């Protein structure tokens, strides 16, 4: 091939690369960056709240719906809040949207096309998984969480914008990769949600998961002491952390505790009492007239309540 033809081809490639980053396409990246920032703030706030590093969030429509969704069995993955993985996904989108706008020269050209593929594939996975979570929220958890809906809407908007912003010369390849990623995320999500949502034996509507662990003389003595001193544990039947707290006591000892059911649809609900106490999260202990939220080690409960027995 003559050198002039090679030069012309290279010039054409550079012009095409520049067209993909011209001001007409910048608005898509900027919009995606803004939406990803909102999503990161949304999921980041939920994560910090779940870690106990942030005060309870104001949930439109009432806190119980948000708590029921976020603290459900589907609210965690690998022992971490599911919102943490959403935060990481939004952060990745933010970086892929912004970097080609701030880099210069060849680095910018090389990253531009690859970043569009990254934005498309990540947002496809996010959108599919968000729709799966919406289905779980409506049909399995049967509660409404505005923060989750916001995240789903943002994920779908990012997917649409990635389709608008990219220069997709090969639509067949675009469709193939999108469907492949969507199917992988959907099938993996179905498997995860089915495993997590497998019902425990003997559990009915509004009834907590049974405690199965054994009690010890020390946990029985602590439970007796907490009951005698009018200590209370405010709980919700769907709360996995409440179940974790009771498992620390074991079956026999947990039955001695004074447990207040705060979920409005729970068996023997005392939702009005929980509201009057301004209970914001579960479990929350009331010991000596003071409220303290979160799962507590048995030694900590003994210290708070003045229990002098050992063996914990």
Q: Per-residue pLDDT tens for 188-237?
A: 999 998 887 655 444 557 888 889 889 999 999 999 999 999 999 999 98
Has residue 105 got a pLDDT over 80? no
**Model pTM greater than 0.85?**
no
The sign of the torsion formed by the CA atoms of 224, 230, 234, 238 equals: positive
Where does the chain hold its CATH 3.40.30.10 domain(s)? 217-305
C-beta separation of 85 from 189 below 8 A: no
Has residue 28 got a pLDDT over 70? yes
Instruction: Give the position of tokens 């498997």.
Output: 191
SS3 of the chain: helix, strand, coil, percent, to 5: 65, 5, 30
Tell me what pLDDT residue 286 has: 96
User: Of the candidates 181, 70, 89, 63, which has an alpha carbon nearest to the alpha carbon of residue 136?
Assistant: 70
Torsion of the alpha carbons at 291, 265, 247 and 233, rounded to the nearest 10:
20
9-196: CATH topology:
de novo design (two linked rop proteins) (1.20.1440)
58-94 confidence digits (pLDDT tens): 776 656 677 778 777 788 888 788 999 999 999 999 9
Give the list of residues 6+ apart from residue 173 with CB closer than 8 angstroms, or none: none
- Once rounded to an integer, what is the mean pLDDT over residues 168-175? 91
For the chain, give the percent of residues with pLDDT over 90.
54
Identify the CATH homologous superfamily for domain 217-305. Answer: Glutaredoxin (3.40.30.10)
229-273 confidence digits (pLDDT tens): 999 999 998 888 898 899 999 999 999 999 999 988 889 999 999
Tell me what pLDDT residue 56 has: 64
- What does the alpha-carbon distance between residue 187 and residue 108 come to, in Å, rounded to a whole number? 35
Has residue 21 got a pLDDT over 80? no
Report the SS3 class of residue 290. strand
Mode of pairing for the β-strands spanning 259-261 and 80-81: unpaired
More confident residue, 156 or 145: 156
- What does the alpha-carbon distance between residue 176 and residue 119 come to, in Å, rounded to a whole number? 16
């Amino acid at each position: 091939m003559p050198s002039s033809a090679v030069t012309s081809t290279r010039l054409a490639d550079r012009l095409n690369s520049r067209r993909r980053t011209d001001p007409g396409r910048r608005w898509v990246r900027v919009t995606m960056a803004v939406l990803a920032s909102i999503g990161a703030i949304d999921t980041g706030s939920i994560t910090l709240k779940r870690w106990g590093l942030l005060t309870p969030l104001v949930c439109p429509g009432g806190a119980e719906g948000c708590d029921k969704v976020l603290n459900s069995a589907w609210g965690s993955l690998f022992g971490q809040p599911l919102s943490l993985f959403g935060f990481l996904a939004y952060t990745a989108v933010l970086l892929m949207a912004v970097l080609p706008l701030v880099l210069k020269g060849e680095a910018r050209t090389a990253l531009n096309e690859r970043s569009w593929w990254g934005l498309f594939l990540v947002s496809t996975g996010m959108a599919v998984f968000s729709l799966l979570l919406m289905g779980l929220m409506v049909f399995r958890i049967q509660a409404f969480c505005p923060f989750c809906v916001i995240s789903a809407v943002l994920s779908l908007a990012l997917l649409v914008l990635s389709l608008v912003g990219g220069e997709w010369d090969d639509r067949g390849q675009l469709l193939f990769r999108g469907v492949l990623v969507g199917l992988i995320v959907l099938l993996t999500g179905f498997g995860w949600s089915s495993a997590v949502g497998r019902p425990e034996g003997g559990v009915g509507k509004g009834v907590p998961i049974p405690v199965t662990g054994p009690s010890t003389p020390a946990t029985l003595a602590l439970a007796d002491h907490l009951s005698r001193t009018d200590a209370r544990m405010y709980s919700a039947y769907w709360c996995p952390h409440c179940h974790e707290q009771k498992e620390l006591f074991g079956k026999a000892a947990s039955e001695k505790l004074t447990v207040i059911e705060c979920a409005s649809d729970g068996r023997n609900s005392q939702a009005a009492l929980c509201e009057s106490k301004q209970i914001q999260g579960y479990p929350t202990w009331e010991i000596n007239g003071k409220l303290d939220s979160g799962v507590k080690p048995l030694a900590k409960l003994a210290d708070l309540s003045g229990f002098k027995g050992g063996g914990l």
